[in-house]
């Protein structure tokens, strides 16, 4: 769809829209778009991805200058390999302020995929139509993966600052004497304090450190557990509760996964 064909008053300010489609859009706006609880200025031209049932609303005086959008229903992917891979495209669950900024050359590459999809559904439909459309959607998504990787690199300084802030937050959290009251932190705890979506934070950390947010949390957890095993005579269950676990068996499982030894075996070596 050419977004210039949409009337400027199509979206009412303050009205929330929820669609049952996947949406991939390359947009240049005048005005603000609200996505979840975030606002984003698209005047530079960016790509936004939404999955079915996500909520989008427009700010006042939004005007689309140019762009394109692809809408497709999940049923189109039914029974295909791409249906199984969709969850791996984590940018469908990023916030709007984590949009993909593309160059004109990159935009032309993606437009070529869009044109091939358009030609397919404009022709007489036959047994090959679905497969060819889905193949070109997958090609487009793979290009977007590449362009996001490039964006993580070009924003290295800003991203390194985020990594440093995350590491400080993580260290501060585990510096508590006991986590019985606060419990184990989750990915959302850190992403909300860094004003990022959980998926974007995990992808950013993976690109810069080789580990997801959850892996960082577990590694810090194991380091604190090692100290408690070395420096105290508390039982394994007491240590598990101190670390915020409701069930000691869960603690033992994580510890053994990360160290290759159970807490009891590790303590016997110290």
What is the distance, to the nearest Å, from the Cα of residue 235 to the centroid of all Cα atoms in its chain?
38
Q: What is the pLDDT of residue 258?
A: 94
- 8 A C-beta contact, residue 33 and residue 62: yes
| Domain shared by 190 and 255, yes or no | yes
What number is the average pLDDT over the span 34-59? Answer: 64
| Domain shared by 34 and 134, yes or no | yes
Report the CATH number that the domain containing residue 177 is assigned in CATH.
Answer: 1.10.10.60
**Based on the structure, what is the number of domains in the chain?**
2
| Domain shared by 84 and 177, yes or no | no
| Domain shared by 18 and 137, yes or no | yes
| Domain shared by 112 and 236, yes or no | no
| Domain shared by 143 and 212, yes or no | no
Q: Of 112, 139, 154, which one is at a domain's C-terminal end?
A: 154
Report the CATH number that the domain containing residue 108 is assigned in CATH.
Answer: 2.60.120
Q: Of 154, 176, 207, which one is at a domain's C-terminal end?
A: 154
Which residues are registered as beta bridge partners of 50?
A: 23
- Residue 192 belongs to domain spanning: 157-269
Render the burial of 77-92: b for 16+ CB within 10 Å, e for the rest.
Answer: beebeeeeebeebbbb
Tokens, residue 224: 């604190």
| Domain shared by 61 and 119, yes or no | yes
| Domain shared by 11 and 138, yes or no | yes
> Is the per-residue pLDDT at 40 higher than 50?
no
Q: What is the DSSP letter of 2?
A: B
| Top-confidence residue, 44 or 270 | 270
Within a 13 Å sphere around the CA of 241, how many CA atoms are in the beta-carbon half? 4
What number is the average pLDDT over the span 5-15? Answer: 54
- 8 A C-beta contact, residue 225 and residue 232: no
| Top-confidence residue, 54 or 114 | 114
Task: Report the distance separating Cα 216 and Cα 201, nearest Å.
Answer: 12
Q: Of 154, 178, 206, which one is at a domain's C-terminal end?
A: 154
| Domain shared by 36 and 117, yes or no | yes
Task: Report the distance separating Cα 205 and Cα 213, nearest Å.
Answer: 7
| Domain shared by 65 and 135, yes or no | yes
Task: Report the distance separating Cα 141 and Cα 104, nearest Å.
Answer: 17
37: pLDDT confidence band, cut at 50, 70 and 90? Answer: very low
pLDDT digits (tens, 9 = 90+) for 86-138: 999 999 999 877 889 888 899 999 999 999 999 999 988 899 999 999 999 99
> Is the per-residue pLDDT at 14 higher than 80?
no
- 8 A C-beta contact, residue 35 and residue 48: yes
If you search the block for the tokens 């408690």, which residue do you land on? 228
Helices then strands (H, E): number in the chain? 10, 8
- 8 A C-beta contact, residue 184 and residue 221: yes
Kindly list the distances between the CA atom of residue 211 and the CA atoms of 29, 56, 157, 195, 215, in Å, as whole numbers in the listed order.
35, 31, 18, 20, 6
| Domain shared by 89 and 49, yes or no | yes
42: pLDDT confidence band, cut at 50, 70 and 90? Answer: very low
Q: What is the pTM of this model?
A: 0.78
Phi-psi region of 31 (alpha: psi -120 to 50; beta: other; left: phi over 0): left
pLDDT digits (tens, 9 = 90+) for 190-229: 999 999 999 999 999 999 999 999 999 999 999 999 999 9
| Domain shared by 110 and 232, yes or no | no
């Amino acid at each position: 769809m050419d977004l210039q064909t949409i009337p400027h008053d199509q979206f009412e300010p303050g009205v929330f829209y929820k669609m049952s489609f996947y949406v991939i859009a390359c947009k240049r706006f005048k005005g603000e778009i609200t996505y979840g609880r975030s606002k984003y200025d698209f005047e530079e031209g960016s790509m936004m991805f939404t999955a079915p049932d996500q909520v989008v609303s427009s700010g006042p005086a939004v005007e689309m200058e140019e762009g394109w959008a692809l809408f497709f229903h999940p049923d189109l992917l039914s029974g295909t390999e791409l249906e199984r891979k969709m969850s791996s495209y984590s940018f469908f669950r990023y916030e709007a302020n984590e949009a993909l900024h593309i160059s004109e050359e990159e935009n032309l590459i993606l437009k070529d995929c869009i044109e091939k999809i358009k030609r397919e559904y404009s022709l007489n439909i036959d047994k090959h139509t679905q497969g060819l459309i889905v193949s070109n959607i997958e090609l487009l998504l793979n290009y977007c993966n590449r362009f996001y990787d490039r964006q993580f690199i070009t924003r290295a300084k800003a991203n390194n600052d985020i990594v440093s802030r995350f590491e400080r937050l993580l260290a501060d959290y585990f510096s508590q004497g006991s986590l019985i009251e606060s419990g184990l932190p989750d990915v959302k705890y850190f992403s909300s304090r860094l004003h990022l979506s959980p998926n974007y934070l995990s992808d950013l950390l993976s690109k810069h450190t080789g580990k997801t947010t959850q892996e960082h949390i577990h590694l810090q957890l194991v380091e604190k557990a090692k100290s408690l095993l070395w420096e105290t005579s508390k039982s394994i269950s007491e240590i598990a509760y101190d670390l915020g676990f409701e069930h000691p068996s869960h603690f033992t499982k994580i510890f053994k996964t990360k160290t290759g030894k159970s807490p009891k075996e590790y303590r016997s070596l110290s």
